Amino acid sequence: MVLAVFSCRTYSLPHLLRLGFLTKQPLSLLCSGLRIRGLSVLCAQSRPRAMASSSSSWELPLVAVCQVTSTPDKQQNFKMCAELVREAARLGACLAFLPEAFDFIARDPAETLRLSEPLGGNLLEDYTQLARECGLWLSLGGFHERGQDWEQTQKIYNCHVLLNSKGSVVATYRKTHLCDVEIPGQGPMRESNSTIPGPSLESPVSTPAGKIGLAICYDMRFPELSLALAQAGAEILTYPSAFGSITGPAHWEVLLRARAIETQCYVVAAAQCGRHHEKRASYGHSMVVDPWGTVVARCSEGPGLCLARINLNYLRQVRQHMPVSQHRRPDLYGNLGNPLP
């Protein structure tokens, strides 16, 4: 339910408070096209649709989902991401999510390999300093990582890095499902030309917003992964992404809502948007979905961020009223990971 929609104007933070943003009312609030200091910022507050919540919105953690247009220019990409992260911190977020390939999007596999860095490189150091400066956690949704086997393989990992507010790396997940597809009208994608699949899942991590399960983009097409993370205790699933212009309109929102509904988790999906260079463009539409499957925050067109509050009491209510995890029959379908005949 949309209770307030604002046109594209520039507002100061006190003006936002007078307009009703970040207030104590436990109602759904979406704002479209809101801009602060030249950035597109959308705000949303999750509302239990069928169940009331007694939590004051001031008591609920606020998360920010950043949408960017990465290019091969790593310094310019960091400047844009840092601006969004600082805005998220000013607005009171405890955790900011950046999309897959937040560091860069190259023109070809050779450039991808040339621009990649190890986790101990200069770029990650810049982000650790940014996390400390802003005092918030960062989900770095897909870093082109030169792993310890770089010298042998000359390939990289697509690595989701989670930093705490002190700038320490608390978790890393290396993308396990690589996107090797040919979509008519979108061009071929061969992630495996430059990337090695990760060997394992990462256990959910406790953060100020809840327990986060790490995934990346194409992983969302595999419900087995999301169910495994939920069964391991995840309350928030993350799908930082760079969806294309054909698969985006067809699959993006429906997949994210499906993952939220079947796991009864929040789903946070930071996305790349716009044209990165002459060879590639991304769909955008970053969003947050609640455990009922409702989109409670989404970005408009172009770089910017959206905000949502995470209500874990609501999550527990959803799971209590519809205890699907207790009704599963692994004795009937325990081997869903096997290929189709």
pLDDT tens digits for range 293-331:
999 999 988 999 999 999 999 999 999 999 999 999 888
Q: Is 199 within a domain?
A: yes
For helices 122-134 and 74-90, give the axis angle rounded to 10 degrees.
10
Q: What is the pLDDT of residue 24?
A: 28
Q: Is 37 within a domain?
A: no
For residue 67, give its domain range: 62-326
Choose the weakest-confidence range: 11-15, 47-51, 66-70. Answer: 11-15
Q: Is 131 within a domain?
A: yes
Q: How far apart are CA 103 and CA 15, in angstroms?
A: 33
Q: How far apart are CA 261 and CA 280, in angstroms?
A: 31
CATH number at residue 73: 3.60.110.10
Share of the chain above pLDDT 70, in %: 82
Residues 299 and 40 sit within 8 Å (Cβ to Cβ): yes
Q: Is 49 within a domain?
A: no
Looking only at the bridges linking them, the beta strands covering 62-67 and 280-283 are: unpaired
The pTM of this model reads: 0.86
Q: Is 123 within a domain?
A: yes
- Count of domains forming the chain: 1
Q: Is 321 within a domain?
A: yes
pLDDT above 70 (res 140) = yes
Q: Is 337 within a domain?
A: no
| Tokens of residue 264, six digits | 């009864």
Residues 178 and 171 sit within 8 Å (Cβ to Cβ): no
pLDDT above 60 (res 168) = yes
Q: Is 10 within a domain?
A: no
pLDDT in tens, 76-89: 999 999 999 999 99
Catalytic residue positions, numbered: 100, 175, 217
pLDDT band at residue 56 under the 50/70/90 scheme: low
